[in-house]
Structure 1
Amino acid sequence: MSAVYALSTCIEWQFVEAGDLAQRLRAAKDAGFDLAEFHLWRDKPIEAMAAVLDETGMRLTSLCVDPRRSIVDPAERDAMVTAVRETIAATAILGKPNLIVASGFRVEGLSEEDHFANAVAALRAAADAAEEAGVMLLLEPLNTRLFATMYLVSTKLGLDLVEAVDSPNLRLLYDIWHSAVMGEDMAEVLTDRIHLVGHVQAADMPDRNEPGTGTLDWTEIMRTLRAVGYDGAIGLEYFPTMPMAQSLDQSRRMLAD
């Protein structure tokens, strides 16, 4: 049984027994991964990670723009674009991975129209920087269980923003777990819009663990991804509940054809 999609391990939460992120990359390669991803970069051993990537031929699918800044608060727009530019420069030695952007929190007293307009303006400026550098930005909707006042908690709204910015260097990160927490219908939100999605991440409900440990129907999820035409990688962004070898074996089974 072979996986339809290449799988990317989230070394932020996985292979932790191996040591720092450079050592986790080696462990991931030994476990059969060619792709990996992580979160914030400023406290990570970037140069050591770059050396491991060069040595092993592994590739990073994504990491987060650091520091996180709001796309909806105009007072943070310049800082947000600066964070994008600094992240692009600092992580170029990692092979120009995709860079994840979250929205930030709602601004009290701001209308829905102004939230949207501010987000588009900030994302356009950030996308311009990404285009100059040849880097892809990924806009990620989160969920209200984790962040009660987060602006972007809707896949549809996220896709609307990507569409409005209209840049080849901005796409959506579709996280199956965040979407499930928000009660979204996966087929409904992705059908005819999958060309706006640059990456998919997977974890089971309710506790963000391995696929197959919770309540989601992974056979149907994989069928839907194929039906809507997704052809990228799937990031395993979950907290393991079992030893890594067993955890990854289960994930590969759940996400296989």
Structure 2
Amino acid sequence: MSAAYTLSSCIEWQFADAGELDARLRAAKAAGFELAEFHLWRDKPIDALAAALAETGMRLTSLCVDPRRSIVDPAQREEMITAVRDTIAATAVLGKPSLIVASGFRVDGMSEDEHFANAVTALRAAADAAEAAGVMLLLEPLNTQLFATMYLVSTTLGLDLVEAVGSPNLRLLYDVWHSAVMGEDMVEVLAGRIHLVAHVQVADMPDRNEPGTGSLDWGKVTRSLRELGYSGAIGLEYFPTMPMDESFAQSQRMLAD
């Protein structure tokens, strides 16, 4: 049985006993991964990671724009765009991975239309920088369980923003766990718009662990993604509850054809 999708290890949370992130990358390779991802980059050993990527042939699927700044607060717009440009420049040595953008928090007294318009303005400027550099930006909806006042907690709204910006270098990151926390129906929110999704991440409900440890029907998840037309990688963005060789094997089983 083979995995339906190529799987990417979130080395931010996985292979922790290997040590620094570059060592985790090598450990992920030894465990059978070809793809990896992590979160913020400014506290990470970028040169060592670049060397480990070259040595192992691994590829980074994504990392986060750092520092995180709001796309809806005009007072943070220039800082947000600068963060995108700085992240593009600093991570080019890592093979130009896709860069994840979160929305930031709601602004008191601002209408829904103003939130949306401000987000589009900021994302258009960020996407222009990404287009010039040949980098993909991934807009990620989160959830109100983790972030009570986060603006973007809806897949539908995230896709609306991607459509409104209209850049080939801005797509959605669809996280199955965040979506499930928000009570979304995956097929309903992605139907007809899967072409706007460039990466998918998974974790089981409710505790954000590996597939097969919770309540989600992973056969249904993978069948639905196939039927919708998703053909990219799947990021294993979860906290493992078992040694990573076992965790990876279980994820492969749960996400298999």
Instruction: Establish whether TM, by shorter chain, passes 0.5.
Output: yes
Instruction: Tell me what 1:42 maps to.
Output: 42
Gaps of 5+ in 1: none
Instruction: Tell me what 2:198 maps to.
Output: 198
Cα deviation for residue 16 of structure 1 reads 0.3
Distance of 1:230 and 1:244 partners within structure 2? 26
Instruction: Tell me what 1:213 maps to.
Output: 213
Instruction: Tell me what 1:236 maps to.
Output: 236
Q: How does 1:22-171 map to 2 (within 5 A)?
A: 22-171=22-171
1:5 aligns with 2:8: no
- Of 48-57 and 134-143, more deviation after overlay is shown by 48-57
Distance of 1:16 and 1:255 partners within structure 2? 23
Distance of 1:39 and 1:149 partners within structure 2? 21
Distance of 1:82 and 1:114 partners within structure 2? 22
Cα deviation for residue 251 of structure 1 reads 0.7
Cα deviation for residue 102 of structure 1 reads 0.1
* Matched letter for residue 214 of structure 1: G
Distance of 1:56 and 1:154 partners within structure 2? 37
- Runs ≥4 residues deviating over 2 A: none
Distance of 1:212 and 1:34 partners within structure 2? 22
Instruction: Tell me what 1:175 maps to.
Output: 175
C-alpha RMSD of the superposition = 0.4
Cα deviation for residue 244 of structure 1 reads 1.1
Distance of 1:237 and 1:167 partners within structure 2? 26
Deviation sequence 1:2-50 (CA, Å, 0-9, x none): 1111000000000000000000000000001110000000000000000
Distance of 1:33 and 1:218 partners within structure 2? 20
Cα deviation for residue 127 of structure 1 reads 0.1
Cα deviation for residue 138 of structure 1 reads 0.1
- Structure 1 length-normalised TM: 1.00
Distance of 2:255 and 2:247 partners within structure 1? 12
Cα deviation for residue 55 of structure 1 reads 1.1
Residue 36 of structure 2 aligns to a residue whose secondary structure is strand
Distance of 1:226 and 1:169 partners within structure 2? 23
Distance of 1:131 and 1:247 partners within structure 2? 37
1:14 aligns with 2:11: no
Residue 174 of structure 1 aligns to a residue whose secondary structure is strand
Cα deviation for residue 67 of structure 1 reads 0.1
Distance of 2:241 and 2:28 partners within structure 1? 17
Residue 201 of structure 1 aligns to a residue whose secondary structure is strand
Deviation sequence 1:204-241 (CA, Å, 0-9, x none): 00010000000000010011000000000000000001
* Matched letter for residue 62 of structure 2: S
- Structure 2 length-normalised TM: 1.00
Distance of 2:197 and 2:219 partners within structure 1? 21
Residue 24 of structure 2 aligns to a residue whose secondary structure is helix
Distance of 1:29 and 1:56 partners within structure 2? 7
